Structure 1
Amino acid sequence: MTDTELLARCHTVFPGHRARRPAEMFAEMAAWCEANDVEHDVYGAGTLIQQFEQKVAALLGFEAAVFCISGTMTQPTALRLACEDRGSRLVALHPTSHMLVHEKSNYQLLGHFHALQVGDRHCPWSLDDLRAVPDLLGAVALEVPMREIGGQNPPWDELEAIKAHCRERGAHLHMDGARLWESAAAFGKPYAEIAAGFDSVYVSLYKGIGGLGGAVLAGSRQFVDRAAEWFRREGGNLIHRSPYIVAAAMQFDQRLAAMPAYFQRTRDLYEALRAHPEIKVNPREPQANMLHLHLPVRRERALAIRNRLAEEHGIWMFNRVNHAALPDTSYVEIYVGDNLLAMSDDRLREALAVFVDALRAGA
């Protein structure tokens, strides 16, 4: 049985939002289009897409923004342009940067820029990490929050110091904001204040928002216009972006409004996990509505436990499982969304207890 088939049988699902089948989502999109008199854009020109781009730009405190089909196209392009402006092809990246870990060396093979790994892979950047770089940097790319270390962020004062440092040394500061929407509740700051001091920001339209895909790049009008031209040159010039914009726009305000509730539910999950010291949680306290659970079983055993709980108890604890550094351990990511928000406290504790019993038996 496939993972999708197992998940479909479960009534208790921990990670993410409730999955919608294509027919359901497309029907919602059609109804929203009808209610809002939506017309297709043509190569990015149209009322809906341009209004949505400007809405995101204003939310982040920028002059302009542009849609792009993927973050994998958006970020290396933006950083290459930033490096051209600064006269250096060197970009500081955290060792867990999405561009290093998940993008198949695109920045290198396509000749966008040279990457310099900075800092400890287990910790967010500090000001001292960047101060220790003697080279002339064209750009610095900072993920907010940092997915690969459980959604961690630098403390607010440290983030502000990093912004000031990049400004003083003349380096373009770019935000990988794939999960920026998840950070405001933890920081207790509006999005524009978090983004203030960055020269450009990329945000996702499908991760926390739940759209079909796509991304938005925000920055100055001149920078955004140049990036848009390069997206066209790189094959991102879809004749109709409207399906991606509609899928995001129809639920955008609702998703952002729910982020504080997701964060509070993350705190509730942390509290429930305190009863189970077998599971180690990273970070120690929530910094976004996501976290990593470090388990006392190897990856293959964790997958077997997940699948057995799905078959026998209707519980789906996590999606992907990762090898961990220590032998006979693994870790999983939990994104706290609609599924956990709708789950009762009693059911949450009961499911955790069943999971921990299985871990003990399998350890």
Structure 2
Amino acid sequence: MSDSALLRQCHTVFPGHRARAPAELFAAMAAWCEANGVEHDVYGSGALLQAFEARIAQLLGKEAAVFCISGTMAQVTALRLACEDRARALAALHPTSHIFVHERSNYQLLGHFKALQAGERHRPWTVADLAAIPDRLGAVGLELPLREIGGQLSSWDELEAIKAHCRARGVHLHMDGARLWEAAAGYGRSLHEVAAGFDSVYVSLYKGIGGLGGAMLAGSGDFVARAAEWFRRQGGNVIHRSPYVVAAAMEFEARLAAMPDYLDRTRFLYGELAAHPIIRVNPAAPQVNMLHLHVPVPPERALAIRRELAERHGIWMFNRVAGGVLPGTSYFELYVGDNLLHAQDEHVRTALALFADALGSV
């Protein structure tokens, strides 16, 4: 049986939101379109699209926002324009930035800008990390939260200091806000407060929201208009954005409202994990509704345990797994969404106990 078929049979699923089959998702989208009188946009012009862009801009306290087919395109375009505006080609990024880890050197091979790694890989930035850079920067790209280290955030005071540092030096501060919705809940602040002081903000329409794909880039009206033109030049001018916008918009307000609940559920899970020291957790305490769980078995064994628990007990512990730094170890990301939010407490406890027992068996 395939992994996807096995997952569908499980009654206790730890990661994310419930995955809907295409037919179910498209039927829900069709019903929402019917109820809201949705018509297709044409090359970015349409009532639904413009209203949703305006909603994102308003939430973030920016003049404008524009849809982009991918965050990869949105981010490197924003940083390139920022560096060009200041005639400074250098952008500072955290060593675990999505641009370094997942985007196949696009910024370098396509000549967008020059990138400098700043700070330490296993902790969030402090303002001292930026103050230690002697170069004249054109832009700083800050990810909130840092996914690759378990969803960690710079402290609020450090974040405010970073904003002030960039403002005083005329450096464009860009946010990789793929998980900004989660970060705002973690800070206990409004989206507007978190985004204040950033010159541009990218947000995802699918990661926490559960849409089909797509992104938004927000900032000043002039900056967003120029970015939109470059999206077209780079092949991002799809004729209909409406499927992506519908899939995001129909879940958007409910998912935003649920972010504090997801964080509370993550804290519950963290507390339950204390009974199973064989599973190591990063960060030391939840900062958003995401954790990295480190286990003392190689990825192949972790996957075998996942299948065994799914087949015998109807439990799905994780999706992807990666090798750990130490030999014979692995780790996986756990994003807490609707699945764990609605799981019964006793089912969660039972699943953790079965998982821990399997990890400890020879």
TM-fit CA distance, 1:9 = 2.1
Q: Equivalents in 2 of 1:119, 1:314: separation in Å? A: 42
Aligned to 2:107: 107
Q: Over residues 296-323 of structure 1, what are the superposed CA-to-partner deviations in whole Å (9 max), with x where a residue is unaligned?
A: 1111111111111111111110011111
> What corresponds to 1:270 in structure 2?
270
Query: Following superposition of structure 1 onto structure 2, how do residues 160-179 of structure 1 map, counting pairs within 5 Å?
Result: 160-179=160-179
Partner of 1:201: 201
AA at the equivalent of 1:32: W
CA distance in 2, matches of 1:288, 1:95: 20
Secondary structure of 1:217 counterpart: strand
The reply on whether 1:345 has 2:345 as its aligned counterpart is yes
Provide the rounded CA distance (Å) in 2 between the counterparts of 1:323 and 1:130.
31
Deviation at 1:231, TM superposition (A): 0.2
Q: Residue by residue, what CA displacement relative to the aligned partner does 1:335-362 show, whole Å, maximum 9, x if unpaired?
A: 0000000111111100000000000004
SS at match of 2:270: helix
Q: Structure 1 CA distance, aligned partners of 2:257 and 2:346?
A: 25
Ranges in structure 2 where 5+ consecutive residues have no aligned partner: none
CA distance in 2: counterparts of 1:282 and 1:307, whole angstroms: 24
Deviation at 1:6, TM superposition (A): 2.0
Deviation digits for residues 243-263 of structure 1, max 9, x if unmatched?
A: 101110111001001111101
Match of 1:62 in 2: 62
Q: Which residue of the partner structure matches residue 356 of structure 1?
A: 356
SS state at 1:206 partner:
coil
TM-superposition CA deviations, 1:169-200 (whole Å, max 9, x none):
11100000000011112101000000000000
Within-5 A mapping of 1:307-322: 307-322=307-322
Measured on the aligned residues, the alpha-carbon RMSD in Å equals 0.7
Deviation string for 1:34-60 (max 9, x for gaps)? 111111111001110001000000000
Distance 1:234 1:46 in 2: 21
SS at match of 1:355: helix
Q: What is the distance in 2 between the residues matched to 1:224 and 1:169?
A: 22
Match for residue 124 of structure 1? Answer: 124
5+ long unaligned stretches in structure 1: none
Question: What are the equivalent positions in structure 2 for 1:148-167 lying under 5 Å apart?
Answer: 148-167=148-167
Residue of structure 2 equivalent to 1:282: 282
TM-score (norm. length: structure 1): 0.99
Instruction: Tell me which amino acid in the other structure corresponds to 2:24.
Output: E
Match in the other structure for 2:50: 50
Q: Distance in 2 between matches of 1:88 and 1:235?
A: 26
Aligned counterpart, 1:91: 91
Structure 2 distance, partners of 1:298, 1:27, is 41
Q: CA deviation at 1:2?
A: 2.6
For each residue in 1:188-214, what CA deviation from the matched residue of structure 2 results, as whole angstroms up to 9, or x when unmatched? Answer: 100000000000000000000000000
**Count of aligned residue pairs for this structure pair:** 362
Query: 1:140: how far off?
Result: 0.3
Runs of 4+ in structure 1 over 2 Å off: none
TM-score by length of 2: 0.99
Which stretch has the larger CA shift, 181-190 or 226-235? 181-190
Tell me the distance in 1 between the aligned counterparts of 2:155 and 2:9. Answer: 41
Identity across the alignment (%): 72
